[in-house]
Amino acid sequence: MPDTADILRLESLQVHFPIQRGLFDRVLGRPAGAVRAVDGIDLNIGRGEIVALVGESGSGKTTVGRVITKLAQPTGGRLLFEGRNMTAERGSSALRPYRHRVQMIFQDAYQALNPRHTVFDIVAEPLRSLRLVDNVTQLAERVSKALAAAGLNPAGDFFSRFPHELSGGQRQRVVIAGALAVKPELIIADEPVSMLDVSIRAQILQVLVDLRDKHNMALLFITHDLPLAWLIADRIAVLYLGKLVEIGSADEITFNPRHPYTVALRNATPQIGGNAGRAVLPALQGEVPSAARVPKGCRFHPRCPLTFDRCKKEEPPPIEVGPQHLSACWLAK
Amino acid sequence: MTNSSQDKAPLLDVNCLSVDYGLKGVSLRAIDRVSFALQAGEAVGLVGESGSGKTTTAMAIAGLLSPNARVSSGEVRYRGSRLPIDDDAAMRPHRWCETSVVFQGAMNALNPVHRIIKQIAEPCMLKLGMSRGEATARARELLGLVGIPTDRGSAYPHELSGGMRQRVMIAMALACRPSIVIGDEPTTALDVITQAQILKLLGELRSRLSLALILITHDLSVVAECCDRVMIMYAGRIVEDGTVAEIFAQPKHPYTRLLIESIPNPASGKKMIRPIPGDPPNLVNRPSGCAFHPRCPSAMGVCGTEVPSLDQFGRGRVACHLHRSSRGDKVAVHA
């Protein structure tokens, strides 16, 4: 179970990507625009906690993951790991201890694995580059343990195999084993099961939940799938156009969503059987606007079925609507 | 061919269809003795994992099999007459005019250098012999039908969002007024909210134009929302066939049951992860007997040796040795 001290904290995290201006724009002195991929996010993850970050494509969820793993540099705000400010840390040697403790699982196991490396080399690579082992025996032992923890048994059978010899589920397990090998305390999993067949998904989720239960590992689970987030996470954070619109316990967000966007997301999710509380609000029209042209006021107001005057002018702050449940909506009160 | 809804002659009748793919001198069976009937206006979901043969089944019906595919048994009948599904030229009058396909990757299926109005008008000119002016007028009408503002017709595919591009694909599929539309994972690449919009559009068009719809998907919950009937495929065979209501309430085949249980369903209130053991079958090394037996929690001795036939069971069909005891009213679909 999650304990109280946060392992990771994001404070007003912001990632803006500048838009290249043409000569014409510069001559005319038009201001440089920016894609506001992540536009001020506050989020904390406790030790051993599973937090799901839910959003559609373009919501900025992957960018958040990339900032945490130091693959992207924030343009504002702070990234705190165990209270230590990691925002400005750069360079591979300075980041080595951090990389040892924070690992990432990518969505596409086909692209994340080097096709010319064996499974052993793939899983051994982070151990070698972070210099976590002294000799080959130790290395083999760690690789073997990581493969077994990811559900590849017997591990020895997989050492000399290449990615193309594995099924999709096995490949995703190798990706997970690579992340596990260094025994991280926080894993960022970016859509780890969305490329997998339905019958394999549950196996991978089980591996991730076991890691938390046995090793108290914290997990940021990035997904577009609300029911999946409910299944695996303790808390769910819903992202829209670079900003959190709602955050709360998995059950609260699923059964008692308070932000119109979360409600729309839930209503749009196809479900087997009962859809109690469905169709309370009309279906959303249109599509997510570009992050280069974020609407004024509440960024959801052009699509929101409940918009009123204030939404067009002022951006709502996160408002407490229940214990540990925040919703950034003027109607939340 | 037996089917529960036998009242009227089916629009489409697939009988004992098998398709093999030739691969480096080896022949792989992608679908194996698939039989089903489709009534006019019916919406059927064809559900399976990758490699289960759902796309091969649909492409065979549309006469779009790849050159290395061979129909090794069976036939497809459309309004009572046999379709030349393995003859590309002979299928041409049928394809698009009677059966059309909405493909998954709209970005790959659309021509990037042509305006969308031209691409929608093209089948009208080629298939219906319309003049350019007539075809463009028809294309405008189709844009309206799928909910794209007519002035967006001059846009190029890259200027449209994923949902809009998928609407263009639907407009093209409807251009020649077909009776059957096959959706090959039409919403898989889309966001949930866009997916809901597209599924709603397909449902509306279906009732308005009385289309029969075959929806190929790996997502059972999509089928639950927009189909009348669902067929579950595993390793090239249909393992269960029934109405959406029956299959979700009382799945007969263990694979169907495990598949339903593995989908997170907040409405059930049960927060449990139930993995299906093992890996999906490899077509090169198809398990003997029932292809699901190595992963099946209810497997018995006979499952490893004998292939269960797809038999009538209640109002649906199921291929499982567990449901053989109550033979009484069953009719074997194939020997």
- Number of structural domains (chain B) is 1
Confidence of residue A46 (pLDDT cuts 50, 70, 90): very high
What is the model's pLDDT at position B335?
A: 33
Q: From B249, which residue of chain A is nearest by alpha-carbon distance?
A: A273
- On whether the CB atoms of residues A191 and A224 are closer than 8 A, the answer is yes
What percent of chain A has pLDDT above 90? 60
Which member of B264, B267, B295 has the closest CB to residue A273? B267
Q: Domain A6-91+100-108+185-197+211-270+279-327 belongs to what architecture? A: 3-Layer(aba) Sandwich (3.40)
Question: Alpha-carbon distance A121 to A110, whole Å?
Answer: 16
Does a structural domain hold residue B147? yes
Choose from B52, B192, B283 for mutation: most chain A CBs within 10 A: B192
How many Å lie between the alpha carbon of A180 and the closest alpha carbon of chain B?
21
Does a structural domain hold residue B105? yes
Structural domain of residue B161, as residue ranges?
99-177
What is the model's pLDDT at position B212?
A: 95
Q: Residue A191: is its pLDDT beyond 70?
A: yes
Q: From A272, which residue of chain B is nearest by alpha-carbon distance?
A: B221
Question: Alpha-carbon distance A136 to B98, whole Å?
Answer: 65
- pTM for the model stands at 0.87
Q: Residue A63: is its pLDDT beyond 90?
A: yes
Q: In which order are the strands placed within the sheet that holds B43-47?
A: B99-102, B180-184, B212-217, B43-47, B229-234, B237-243, B316-318, B311-313
Q: Residue A305: is its pLDDT beyond 50?
A: yes
Does a structural domain hold residue B163? yes
Q: Residue A113: is its pLDDT beyond 70?
A: yes
* Residue ranges for chain B with pLDDT beneath 70: 1-8, 106, 325-335
A89-109: pLDDT as tens digits: 888 888 888 988 999 998 887
Whole-Å CA distances, B260 to A306, B50, B58, B63, B250: 35, 17, 23, 31, 10
Spell out a b/e string for A217-246, using b for 16 or more CB atoms within 10 Å of the CB, else e. bbbbbbbbbbbbbbbbbbbbbbbbbbbbbb
- 3 state DSSP class of A129: helix
What is the model's pLDDT at position A89?
A: 85
What is the model's pLDDT at position A274?
A: 52
Question: Alpha-carbon distance B41 to B208, whole Å?
Answer: 10
List of chain A residues whose C-beta atoms are within 8 Å of the C-beta of residue B148: none
What is the model's pLDDT at position B263?
A: 87
**How many of the other CB atoms lie within 10 Å of CB of B312?**
17
Mean pLDDT of chain A: 89
**How many of the other CB atoms lie within 10 Å of CB of A137?**
9
Does B147 contact A at CB distance below 8 Å? no
What is the model's pLDDT at position A80?
A: 94
What is the model's pLDDT at position B1?
A: 43
- On whether the CB atoms of residues A188 and A176 are closer than 8 A, the answer is no
Does a structural domain hold residue B126? yes
User: Could you identify the residue written with the tokens 């299906």?
Assistant: B276
Does a structural domain hold residue B111? yes
Residue type, B264: P
What percent of chain B has pLDDT above 70? 94
Q: Where are the domains of chain A?
A: 6-91+100-108+185-197+211-270+279-327
Confidence of residue A2 (pLDDT cuts 50, 70, 90): very low
What is the model's pLDDT at position B301?
A: 92
Q: Residue A1: is its pLDDT beyond 50?
A: no
Q: From B226, which residue of chain A is nearest by alpha-carbon distance?
A: A270
